[in-house]
Amino acid sequence: MTVVRSASTALYALALEGQRFCCPRLQQGLVVRLLFIGDVFGRPGRTIVQRLLPQLKAELRPTVVVANAENATHGTGMTRSAFEELSTAGVDIFTGGNHTLGKPEILDLMQEHPSVLCPGNVSPAIRRHGFVIWQTPDGPIAVVNVMGQYCMNGVDNPFRYMEEILCEPEIGAVRVKIVDFHAEATAEKAVMLRLLDGRMSAVLGTHTHVPTADARVTAAGTAFITDVGMTGVRSSIIGLDPEVMMRRFETGIMYAPRVAEGDATLMAVVVDIDASTGSSTSITLLQRDH
């Protein structure tokens, strides 16, 4: 586990054994702690979240738990049953990406639960489901979901979308603001950081399912990582069965993908944010196998 940047007074006492960390109880009203779980992939991803999240919440005492769940059901979309499993385990807010609309019932879920998001730049009809204001004892938190354009179809410009979102009065009134930028290109994610640096508490990348080693907090107080990684079978091909994917690449025949089976890894980041300013003080990479 790597602490990328710590506050002036240590927030974490890290123990190397088992990659676990022990957190003192946060003083309410001073620090908002975000636990953000990377793309939850299929049943193995849901299972490890169900197994580990209650324990992680007891250890870390996060203010809010966000999970990207666009691959939660068979690697494409999220059904009601998958939502209920993850919600019961302790996920507060669900972000998405290019597979969010893979299950038709997601539209009903978004209507019933404002905490279920879809990238707001997918279509005008989805725009209002692109963010949520989440109320906590330490004040409101804005969580925004947006998707990149590179290698994505039918997506409006994400940079213009973010400028419009930041002009929303209800977003502007919130100090702590987090965005899940679901995008393919590392450069596109870096540009988003430049656009939002100092304006958002955290810019967290998802979609590629491969965690990056560039987590940091900028001088302006924005926590950033190009990609949080995937919560699923680590020995897979981005969550899919390796044998099927090998046949697809070797032959060019588009065999139906299949979710990999096996032991899963939970990949996440923990971000601590000054509640009074909205500036992040630290971002911590977290990977847990058991």
Question: Would you please indicate which residues are annotated as catalytic (active-site) residues?
Answer: 99
Query: Is 70 annotated as belonging to a binding site?
Result: yes
C-beta separation of 205 from 181 below 8 A: yes
Q: Is 209 annotated as a binding residue?
A: yes
39 is in an annotated binding site: yes
The reply to whether 98 sits in an annotated binding site is: yes
CA dist., res. 221 & res. 202, Å (int): 8
Burial class of 16 by CB neighbour count within 10 A (0 to 12, 13 to 18, 19+): exposed
Please list, residue by residue across 58-85, b when 16 or more beta carbons sit within 10 angstroms of its beta carbon and e when fewer do: eebebbbbbbbbbbbbbbbbbbeebbeb
Residue 127 burial (CB count, 10 A): 17
Query: Distance (Å, rounded) from C-alpha 140 to C-alpha 142?
Result: 7
What spatial distance separates the first Cα and last Cα of the chain, rounded to whole Å?
A: 15
* Annotation: binding site for Fe cation: 39, 70-71, 98, 182, 207, 209
* Annotation: binding site: 39, 70-71, 98, 182, 207, 209
